[in-house]
Amino acid sequence: PCCPPLCPQLYENFVEEIDAIDNGIAQAEGEPRYALTTTLSARVGHLNPRWNDPDQDTEAGFKRAMELVGGEFMDRLDYYHHAWLPARALVEEAIRRRFEVDASGMVLELPQGGCPWKQHVFSLEQELALPQPLQLVLFPDRGGQWRVQSVPTGPHTFQSRLPLPEPWRGIRDEALSELTGIPGCVFVHASGFIGGNRTREGALEMARRTLAQRHGEGVQSR
C-alpha cells in the first residue's frame, strides 16, 4: 500500500494535472498570462502523427508515450519516496524546535540545508495545529553560506507571507551590510522572498529584523 503522505502528493503533483487536462478543466479562471506548451500532456500530444503525414498510424507514438509517461512517473515516485518524504521528519523536528531558534516561534531552521520543505510546512501547520503560521526559514546553502527565505502564502504561488524589507531588496554585499547594520550580508532578491548572509547569526538577524518591521519595534523576538 502507498504511504499516506505519498499518495496525495503523487496525485496532486502528477496525476491530477494530466486528468484535468484530459477532461478539459481549466487551471484558473480568465485568460492565462502565458502558454504552457511543454507539459507532459503537451509532449504526449506532440507524439501524434502530424495532420499531413502520409502515415497516420498512431501505434508507434502510443508506445513512445507509454515510455515517456512511465519513465516520468517512476522518476517522480522515486523522488517523493527517497527525497521528499524523508524531509518531512526534518521539517517536523524543526517545527518542534522553533522556539530554540527565535522566541517568536515563527522562524524555522533547517540546519541540514535546503530540503523540500514548503508542502511539509503547510500540512504540518494544520496537523500540529500551530497557533500562528511560520514566516521565515533559515538554511545553509551548498557553499556554506546561509539563506533566509519567506514561507509562501500557498504551495503554488510566488507570493510571500513575509518578504524581507523593501529597502533591502536588490542590494548586495557591503552596501547591504551598511544599509542593514548586519555584518556579512550577501544579497536580498528584488522581490524580497529570499536573502543571504555569510553566517547563521547574520541570517537569523536578518530574519529578526524582518519580523520586527512587521510586528513593530515593541515586539521582542529574541
Q: Letter for the amino acid at 6?
A: L
Binning pLDDT at 50, 70 and 90, where does residue 4 land? low
What per-residue confidence (pLDDT) applies to 220? 39
Last residue of a domain, one of 38, 66, 81: 81
Domain count, the chain: 2
Q: Same structural domain for residues 111 and 182? A: yes
Q: In sequence order, what are the residues at sequence separation of 6 or more whose Cβ sits closer than 8 angstroms to the Cβ of residue 196? A: 141, 145, 146, 147, 148, 185, 186, 187, 188, 203
Under a CB-based contact definition with an 8 Å cutoff, are residues 120 and 91 in contact?
yes
Cα 17 to chain centroid distance, Å, stands at: 18
Query: Domain for residue 115, yes or no?
Result: yes
Q: Same structural domain for residues 65 and 134? A: no
Q: Same structural domain for residues 109 and 36? A: no
Q: Same structural domain for residues 58 and 109? A: no
Structural domain range at position 74: 5-81
Query: Domain for residue 51, yes or no?
Result: yes
What per-residue confidence (pLDDT) applies to 202? 98
Q: Same structural domain for residues 77 and 110? A: no
- Distance of alpha carbon 77 from alpha carbon 14, whole angstroms: 10
The model's pLDDT over 145-173, given as tens digits with 9 standing for 90+, comes to 999 999 999 988 889 999 999 999 999 99
Query: Domain for residue 214, yes or no?
Result: yes
- Distance of alpha carbon 24 from alpha carbon 146, whole angstroms: 44
Query: Domain for residue 68, yes or no?
Result: yes
Closest CA to 128 of 163, 94, 162: 94
pLDDT > 90 fraction of the chain, expressed in percent and rounded: 74
pLDDT tops 90 at residue 88: yes
Q: Same structural domain for residues 168 and 205? A: yes
Q: Give the mean model confidence (pLDDT) for residues 104-112.
A: 96
Query: Domain for residue 97, yes or no?
Result: no
Q: Give the mean model confidence (pLDDT) for residues 195-213.
A: 97
pLDDT tops 50 at residue 6: yes
pLDDT tops 50 at residue 19: yes
Q: Same structural domain for residues 117 and 72? A: no
| Look-up of cell digits 508542502 | 119
The model's pLDDT over 128-141, given as tens digits with 9 standing for 90+, comes to 999 999 999 999 99
Query: Domain for residue 88, yes or no?
Result: no
Q: Which residue has the higher pLDDT, 100 or 4?
A: 100
Q: Same structural domain for residues 113 and 15? A: no
Query: Domain for residue 86, yes or no?
Result: no
- Distance of alpha carbon 61 from alpha carbon 64, whole angstroms: 5
Binning pLDDT at 50, 70 and 90, where does residue 82 land? very high
Query: Domain for residue 63, yes or no?
Result: yes
- Cα–Cα distances in angstroms (integers) from residue 217 to residues 93, 105, 108, 173, in the given order: 29, 17, 21, 25
DSSP 188-206: E-TTSSEEEESSHHHHHHH
Can you give the pTM of this predicted structure?
Answer: 0.77
Q: Same structural domain for residues 55 and 15? A: yes
Q: Same structural domain for residues 121 and 75? A: no
The three cell numbers of residue 46 are 506532440
Last residue of a domain, one of 47, 81, 115: 81
Binning pLDDT at 50, 70 and 90, where does residue 217 land? very low
Last residue of a domain, one of 28, 49, 81: 81
What per-residue confidence (pLDDT) applies to 218? 39
pLDDT tops 50 at residue 221: no
Ranked by mean pLDDT, which of 27-31, 74-78, 172-176 comes out on top? Answer: 172-176
Q: Same structural domain for residues 149 and 206? A: yes
Q: Same structural domain for residues 123 and 43? A: no
What per-residue confidence (pLDDT) applies to 115? 92
Q: Which residue has the higher pLDDT, 114 or 181?
A: 181
pLDDT tops 70 at residue 216: no
Q: Give the mean model confidence (pLDDT) for residues 93-102.
A: 98
pLDDT tops 70 at residue 219: no
